[in-house]
Amino acid sequence: MLHRRTKRAAIGFLLLGAVCAAVLSGTARFVEAQREKRRSEVERKELVPPPPVPVAVESRPLERRRKFTADIRPWMLAQVPAEVAGRVERVFVEAGTPVKAGDPLVGLDTTRIGIAVDSAEVRSAEAERLLQEAGRLRQVNAISATAYEAAAAEARLAKSALDEARDTLARHTVRAPFDGTVNARFVDVGDAVNVNQPAVEVVDLEKLRVGLLVSDTDLPAFKVGAKVPLQLASGHAGPFEPVVAFVGRSADPETRLFAVEAVLDNIQAGLPGGLQGFVEADVELFPEGPVVPAAAVRIAGADAVVLKETPDGPSPVKIRVGPEIDGMFPVLGGLRAGDRVFIQ
């Protein structure tokens, strides 16, 4: 009898322990679930973006600057050729020699042409003497008018032959075509040269030509007479300010670009030709006016929309804008400086 009571008591304790364990386990799960719920709520609150903050519409000018590659060339450059064939007898200049227009550069042998000039001078002088004699005879009707005209024609032909010989003699000296500096010479004494063979290269660097190629949309930024800032890739001190002298009226058929040329006074700078650089220009300029951040504008087709702050809250408003420049839109209509819009 005692054994049965003990057995039932043990079973009861076991059941009570199981119930307590189940209750404790359920309580722990409930507490953990509540803790997880609170953690999730905190995380959701952290993920909710902060309410939008309006920004004020500013008023200021906007400009877009672009860089254009510039090719810097001498104002004038000529590879001066020999005008006649011959052998070089004398070289008057070296590279770096300053020259004036007409200065001799290279002299060719003049032996044969000198003889031809002497002969032409003798024939011209004789023809002129005969013409004068015919004039005296004509005055006393000793010869006919036809004979006198024949003598005059002979004198003219002889004079023309003399002028041609003298001109050929003069062309045996290669001369500078303009004021400048000898950049290179291509012949030495004793060389045989042909007609149109380059003998000396002369450059004029008192001014430089600054050449640009510009698209049609950027062409309005370049006005004849306007100064443009020039920076040189070689690191010469600058900037320089060449003046626009020419704007192309027709685009290159292959590149569809327009030629623009500016002139740089080079007397003080003393720059060489053939340098490379770039020119900066304002290709789009919007004067003082309202501007908004690009992040506040939503483009929908041809429309631009902003959320404007009103007493009733954010309100969508259509506006007109120009092209985006450095993260800002110039406002052409629909907003005024001081209005407040929301970043979208």
> Both tokens of residue 79?
């590879």
Neighbouring CB atoms inside 10 A of 244's CB total 21
Give residue 229's identity as a one-letter amino acid code.
Answer: P
d(CA 263, CA 243): 5
Low-confidence ranges of the chain (pLDDT < 50): 2
Residue 237: burial class (beta carbons within 10 Å; 0-12, 13-18, 19+):
exposed
Strand order in the sheet with 192-193: 173-175, 104-108, 86-91, 192-193
pLDDT of residue 53: 74
3-state SS record for the chain: CHHHHHHHHHHHHHHHHHHHHHHHHHHHHHHHHHHHHHHHHHHHHHHCCCCCCEEECEEEEEEEEEEEEEEEEEEEEEEEECCCCEEEEEECCCCCCEECCCCEEEEECCHHHHHHHHHHHHHHHHHHHHHHHHHHHHHCCCCCHHHHHHHHHHHHHHHHHHHHHHHHHHCCEEECCCCEEEEEECCCCCCEECCCCEEEEEEEEEEEEEEEEECCCCHHHCCCCCECCEEECCCCCCCECCEEEEECCCCCCCCCCEEEEEEEECCCCCCCCCCEEEEEEEEEEEEEEEEEEHHHCEEECCEEEEEEEECCEEEEEEEEECCCECCEEEEEECCCCCCEEECC
d(CA 341, CA 335): 9
pLDDT of residue 204: 96
pLDDT of residue 13: 60
Tell me the CATH architecture of domain 54-60+288-342. Answer: Beta Barrel (2.40)
d(CA 333, CA 330): 9
Residues facing residue 185 across a β-bridge? 200
pLDDT of residue 157: 97
pLDDT of residue 334: 85
Cis peptide before 239 (omega within 30 of 0): yes
pLDDT of residue 128: 95
Rounding to the nearest 10 degrees, give the CA dihedral for residues 122, 126, 127, 133.
160
Tell me the CATH architecture of domain 67-72+204-285. Answer: Beta Barrel (2.40)
d(CA 161, CA 126): 13
CA 315 from centre of chain: 46
pTM of the entire predicted model:
0.65
pLDDT of residue 206: 94
pLDDT of residue 2: 47
pLDDT of residue 23: 59
205 φ/ψ angles, rounded to the nearest 5 degrees: -110, 15
Tell me the CATH architecture of domain 84-198. Answer: Orthogonal Bundle (1.10)
